Amino acid sequence: MAETVTIDGQQYLKRNPLVVLGLSFITLGIYFLYWYYKANDDLRRFEHDESISPVRSLMAMIFGWIIIVPPFLAMYNTAKHVQSVEERLAIQPELEPALAIVIMLFVSIGNGVYIQEHLNRVWQRASGVRPALSGPPPPPPPPMPGPPTA
């Protein structure tokens, strides 16, 4: 379900993006709010940037709908943070914050899939783990010929 990776002594979760979507749907968006807080907290810890406030971002998502704009700004800022990490780690293709807003307009909890996929790429690259190759492992090399025996 989720794989834990350790980067600079900190642990981060590589969550399955479809599980994020499924749990968000099943819990009527409650898991999405939990995921959104954790994603921002992971970014804050990874970037060592105390200006990233998971609580402020979460409050914008929950209560910002009253004046409409804050949830969109919060999601845009989260996407910008992910994009800046991807730029620094030279991960292609990069997350597009504008696309995150478009997804949010049509399928709000669908952003979890998009952003989590990119976070997983960040955690993978930063941890130095190469992606698993599909298919069987390569065969072992043939044995070295030894001296002839009499």
Answer yes or no: is 148 within a domain. Answer: no
Answer yes or no: is 105 within a domain. Answer: yes
Question: 6-39 pLDDT, tens per residue?
Answer: 888 889 999 999 999 999 999 999 999 999 999 9
Question: 106-136 pLDDT, tens per residue?
Answer: 888 888 999 999 999 999 998 885 555 445 5
Answer yes or no: is 146 within a domain. Answer: no
**CA–CA distance from 49 to each of 46, 54, 122 (Å)?**
8, 11, 16
Please count the structural domains in the chain: 1
Q: What is the mean pLDDT of residues 90-94?
A: 88
Residue 106 domain boundaries: 2-127
Answer yes or no: is 143 within a domain. Answer: no
Answer yes or no: is 141 within a domain. Answer: no
pLDDT tier at 59, thresholds 50, 70, 90: very high
The count of residues in the chain is 150
Answer yes or no: is 53 within a domain. Answer: yes
Answer yes or no: is 147 within a domain. Answer: no
Residue 76 has pLDDT above 70, yes or no: yes
Answer yes or no: is 48 within a domain. Answer: yes
Please state the separation of Cα 89 from the chain's center in Å.
14
Q: What is the mean pLDDT of residues 75-95?
A: 92
Q: What is the mean pLDDT of residues 72-95?
A: 93
Q: What is the mean pLDDT of residues 64-83?
A: 93
